[in-house]
Chain A
Amino acid sequence: MAEKLVEIENISAGIEEGQILDGVSLQIGPGQTHVLMGPNGAGKSTLGNVLMGNPVYRVSGGRILFDGQDITELGADKRAQLGMFMSFQNPLEVPGLSLEEFIRNAIRQKTGKPIKIFQFKKQLAEAMELLGMDESYAGRDLNVGFSGGEKKKAEILQLLMLRPKFAILDETDSGLDVDAVRTVSKGIEEYQKREEGSLLIITHSTRILESLHVDHAHIIVKGRLVASGGEELVAKVNEEGFEAFS
């Protein structure tokens, strides 16, 4: 395994209307948890989406390596197959496709092998129990009519079932009540522990970080990384907000 799992080298990117990211560089090692914080509109979610390969964003400079491989031009599906994952800020609703069916398809795409149904069901039930999800959600249409909290839990459920090497959590705590944040954190902890997976946690608050171990924190303002450090940065944001960094 490469020493660095994710290497973001001087990435600039944006949408048609203009540039959002301006030369961002960041490295994430295997098993590390990084936090990306910043005020609204700073480019946090853009970075997550660019990492995952959302075609809405165009990369105008720099490159991204995953496990030593240049993935800058790869589609999202290929990136996922290499072991990347993103928990969406606003998970999409897909009528007629059940959560369970969706996860099963995704696993099959990744492994290329038929799934052992009994084992799959068992793992799914365990993961759902950990996240406090009622088992009926497995058969429900993907995210359709789910509450904000259930949608986020369903994202973490996918994280646990798909077992990626690296996951981006885009505002996973936003819009959740205290209990839901706690439950979701439990799922993320499980991923850290069990998979020794790497994480990039994108957030503008610090609630979700209370119970999670963090290796590095980064502050993004107006599309540029303005500060990087350890857990103490999180504490600083907590006390002073982002004002200090702009």
Chain B
Amino acid sequence: MNQEETKQINQDRILSEGIERELYDFRDEETDAQFYRMKEGLTEEIVREISEMKHDPEWMLEFRLKSLALYDQIKMPDWGPSIDGLNMDNIAAYVRSRSDMKGSWDEVPEDIKNAFEKLGIPQAERESLAGVGAQYDSELVYHSVREDVAKQGVVYTDMESALTGEYEQMVKDHFMKLVPPTDHKFAALHGAVWSGGSFVYVPKGVKVEIPLQSYFRLNAKGAGQFEHTLIIVDEGADLHFIEGCSAPKYNIANLHAGCVELYVRKNARLRYSTIENWSRNMYNLNTKRAIVEEGGVIEWVSGSFGSHESYLYPTSVLKGEGSHAEFTGVTFAGAGQNLDTGAKMIHIGKNTSSFIDTKSISKGGGISTYRSSVEIRKSAEGSKASVNCGSLMLDSISRSDTIPAVDVRTDKADVGHEAKIGRISDDAVFYLMSRGIPESEARAMIVSGFASPVSKELPLEYAAEMNNLIKMEMEGG
């Protein structure tokens, strides 16, 4: 069977399969016997306890305490969706399984294994991934990398191992250097209580042919997840990293304040893809940033579907001459969701280029805000930037805003911007229905089509997952 036929069959399968909402919504009770749960709130005592449990080196404890002090000083953001519903006194910053991280899937505790198996995680690894990390609540429960990839010198491990092992210095040199705890309140929070996440190092000139993937599952109720992802792609190397996240729904707030730091060296290329499907009680206050050296390329592909509220603006710092960044994203805000998403491009080097293409969809009273910033510094002569954002509102009670900021400090730059806001066309729905396609399916097809610039950029399984999520959102109230 050729590739196109396989693709066809997969698409057919996806379109014909019923939607299983419980695919993401199942939850498992966590008992004291199986799980250790830090008491709720945020105090120096709690931060010290986390640090001790994680066997931090001394400098990390200091780093955490400094971050905590910053957290207490920095004000809440006052420019985006309201986060009044989030009270740190009700959030457990650290929850872990009493079982240690495993390198073999069979050894992972049964309930956790089942949870990931329902999400198709190990299956995906066997089929199409170079390595997999699976985080459950605050810690990784599983990490593995394919032997042939490890032989190329690629390091893919959990942050804790990296911090205490032979890569400690490398971690120390890069950890929260791109996103310092002074950046904003939740960066400070992250610095204080971070736990879990992955460390990736791709040596010079190594091209990793198939993606690495980390999956984050926050199962605990009233808890926070603060994973740290640190990726260094050395000169001329090439990597595709995928992260997925989900959580079951609870009636009290959960918090995700992860941090992603990406270092793309000279002539290296990194693609960072995310499918985020947090439950509707999640405050997703995530910070992602990449710095790109001469001739390097960062490509962000981002699908945001979940959470109650999101603040998410992956940032690319184009430092080196001729470096390039692309951001392709789709955001879907349904009932009760206020998703404030976009991207940030900072052009520093000469002849740098950036390209933003986003689609936001809102439905059922959901609010979707596209917020971006393109900054071209004086040094960035000969740079080019293009922003293209489209919004689609599916009914008259939903809202869509576009807030694109552009700041250009040199005459020798070329910046383009195009924004489109529209409603789903009843005529188009009727058109598809006149061919025998039911109304909900017709709407889903139009929305999937609208979002296709993103799904086209994803590996097949993830594109399928994304289309599935769209279909689910379209059918849900």
Binding site for B on A (CB under 8 A): 52-56, 75-77, 79-81, 85-86, 88, 91-97, 101-102, 104-106, 108-110, 114-115, 117, 141, 158, 162
Contacts and interface: CB of A to CB of B under 8 A. Distances in A.
A96 to B, nearest CB: 3
A110 B453 contact: no
Contact of B5 (A81, A97, A110, A117): A117
B435 A94 contact: no
B453 A52 contact: no
Nearest to B452: A96
Given A96-B452, A97-B448, A76 B425 contact: no
Contact of B437 (A54, A56, A105): A105
Given A56-B430, A85-B435, A97-B448, 14 more contacts: A54-B434, A75-B433, A81-B436, A92-B428, A94-B446, A95-B450, A97-B452, A104-B12, A105-B15, A106-B435, A109-B435, A115-B12, A117-B8, A162-B436
Can you list the 8 inter-chain pairs with the closest CB atoms, starting with the nearest? A96-B449, A96-B452, A80-B436, A106-B435, A76-B433, A97-B449, A92-B431, A109-B436
Given A94-B428, A97-B449, A106 B12 contact: no
Interface size class of B (residues with CB under 8 A): 20 to 34
Contacts of A104: 12
A117 B430 CA distance: 27
25 contacts: A54-B430, A55-B426, A56-B430, A75-B438, A77-B437, A80-B436, A85-B434, A85-B435, A91-B431, A92-B425, A92-B427, A92-B428, A94-B428, A94-B446, A95-B449, A96-B449, A96-B450, A97-B448, A102-B435, A105-B445, A109-B435, A109-B437, A117-B8, A117-B9, A158-B435
Contacts of B393: none
B449 A77 contact: no
B185 to A, nearest CB: 38
A180 B439 CA distance: 32
Contact of B16 (A77, A101, A108): A108
Secondary structure of the B contact surface, majority rule: helix
B439 A94 contact: no
B439 A75 contact: yes
Contacts of B425: 92
Contacts of B432: 94, 102
A77 B441 CA distance: 10
Contacts of A53: 433-434
Contact of B439 (A77, A86, A108): A77
Contacts of A108: 12, 15-16
Interface string B269-295: 000000000000000000000000000
A77 B448 contact: no
B192 interface: no
B434 A56 contact: no
B258 to A, nearest CB: 30
Given A80-B436, A105-B15, A105-B437, A95 B452 contact: yes
Contact of B438 (A77, A85, A115): A77
A114 B12 contact: yes
Contacts of B441: 105, 109
Contacts of A114: 12, 16
B428 A80 contact: no
Nearest to B425: A92
Contacts of A92: 425, 427-428, 431
